[in-house]
A and B are shown apart, each in its own frame.
Chain A
Amino acid sequence: MWWEYITYFINATVLAAALRMATPLIFASMGGIFSERSGVINIGLEGMMLTGAFMGMLVTFYTNNPWIGLMGALLSGGIVGMVHAVAAVRYKVDQVVSGTAINIFAVGFTVFMLRTIFDVAGTSPAVPRIRTVALPIVRHIPVVGEIIGYQNPMVYMALILVVVVHIFLFHTVWGLRLRSVGEHPKAADTVGINVFLTRYVAVITSGALAGLGGAYLSIAHLSRFGDEMTAGRGFIALAAMIFGKWTPFGALGAALLFGFADAVQMRLQEVGIPRHFVQMIPYILTMVALAGFIGRATPPKSIGKPYEKE
Chain B
Amino acid sequence: MVENILELSHITKRFPGVVANDDISLGIRKGEIHALVGENGSGKSTLMSIVYGLYQADAGEIIFKGVPVRIGDPRTAIELGLGMVFQHFMLVDTLTVTENVILHAEPHNWGFVDYKRAVSGVEELATAYGLRVDARARVADISVGQEQRVEILKALYRQAEVLILDEPTAVLTPQETEELFQVMNNLREQGTTIVFITHKIKEVLTISDRVSVLRRGKLVGTRNTAETGQRELAEMMVGREVLLRVKKEPAKPAETVVSVAGLQVRDRRGMPAVKDVSLELRRGEVLGIAGVEGNGQQELVEAITGLTTPDTGQVLLRGEPIQALSPMKIKRRGVSYIPEDRHKRGLILEYSVADNLILGLHSDPPFVERYLFRNERQIKAHAARLVESYDVRPPNPDQIIRTLSGGNQQKVVVAREFSRSPEFLVCSQPTRGLDIGAIEFIHQEIIRQRDQGTGVLLVSAELDEILSLSDRIAVMFDGRIVAVLSIDEADEQRLGYLMLGGDPQQAAGEIESGVTAK
Q: List residues of chain A with CB under 8 Å of any chain B CB.
A: 171-174, 176-177, 179-180, 183-184, 186-193, 301, 309-310
Contacts and interface: CB of A to CB of B under 8 A. Distances in A.
B90 A184 contact: yes
B111 A180 contact: no
Contacts of A186: 90
Contacts of A174: 111
B74 A301 contact: no
A192 B83 CA distance: 11
A177 B105 CA distance: 10
A310 B49 CA distance: 10
Contacts of A309: 54
B393 interface: no
Most buried by B among A186, A188, A192, A301: A192
B99 interface: yes
Contacts of B91: 184, 187
A176 B94 contact: no
Nearest to A305: B350
Interface of B: 52, 54-55, 73-75, 78, 84, 86, 90-95, 99-100, 103-106, 108, 111-113, 154, 158
Contacts of B113: 171-173, 176
A176 B93 contact: no
Contact of B105 (A172, A180, A184, A191): A191
Contacts of B99: 176, 180
A191 B93 contact: no
B94 A190 contact: no
A176 B106 contact: yes
Contacts of A176: 95, 99, 103, 106, 113
8 contacts: A171-B113, A173-B108, A187-B91, A188-B92, A191-B90, A191-B154, A192-B78, A310-B55
Given A172-B113, A173-B108, A176-B113, A193 B92 contact: no
B103 A180 contact: yes
A268 B52 CA distance: 63
B111 A190 contact: no
A183 B95 contact: yes
A170 B100 CA distance: 14
B112 A177 contact: no
B103 A191 contact: yes
B84 A190 contact: yes
Contacts of B94: 179, 183, 301
Given A184-B90, A186-B90, A192 B75 contact: yes
Nearest to B86: A190
B90 to A, nearest CB: 4
A179 B113 CA distance: 14
B111 A184 contact: no
Most chain B beta carbons < 10 A, residue from A173, A179, A183, A301: A173
Contacts of A183: 92-95
Contact of A177 (B74, B93, B100, B104): B104
Nearest to B108: A173
Contact of A187 (B55, B75, B92, B111): B92
A301 B93 contact: yes
A189 B74 contact: yes
B90 A190 contact: yes
B74 A190 contact: yes
